[in-house]
Amino acid sequence: MTRLSRTDLETHARHWIAAWNAHDVETVLAPFAEDTVFISPLAKQVAGNAQIVGKDALRQYWTDALARVPDLHFELSGTAVDEEAQSVTVFYVSRAGGRVRHACEHMRFREGVQFLGEAYYGSEE
């Protein structure tokens, strides 16, 4: 059974931020399970549904989303880790399309692979 340590989960958060800032969808997707589920209120604007199911669908959603905001940049604010639950919440500031907002993404893992992601967004600054 593959279990991620606190350090692994914190490292994942830093790599996730770096991959987004490089606009590298394949690197962002690398730790995801094929049957992953991603939930985001912003997904409804791009994909027509707040829940994206499957790695291929997630790839398409993020590729389309990045095309809409080519200046996307994240700044890591912090993390909250639950090693027992195999989860990490990444807190960050999102800058895109002239908008700035605080956000977080909650990520769950099984066998070292991410199977769930849920994004939450604060008000724009």
Closest C-alpha among 95, 46, 101, 38 to residue 72: 95
Average pLDDT over residues 81-98: 97
Task: Give the H/E segment covering residue 81.
Answer: strand 73-82
pLDDT greater at residue 46 or residue 7: 7
Q: Report CA-CA distances (Å) from 22 to 25, 65, 87.
A: 9, 14, 24
Residue 111: what are its φ and ψ, rounded to 5°? 55, 35
Q: What is the pLDDT of residue 124?
A: 84
Calculate mean pLDDT across residues 4-10.
98
Contact indicator for 15, 93 with CB cutoff of 8 Å: no
85: tokens are 């639950």
Task: Say which residue, 31 or 47, is predicted with more confidence.
Answer: 31
| pTM across the whole model | 0.94
Q: How confident is the model at residue 56 (pLDDT cuts 50, 70, 90)?
A: very high
Structure tokens at 119: 């994004």
| CATH number corresponding to 6-124 | 3.10.450.50
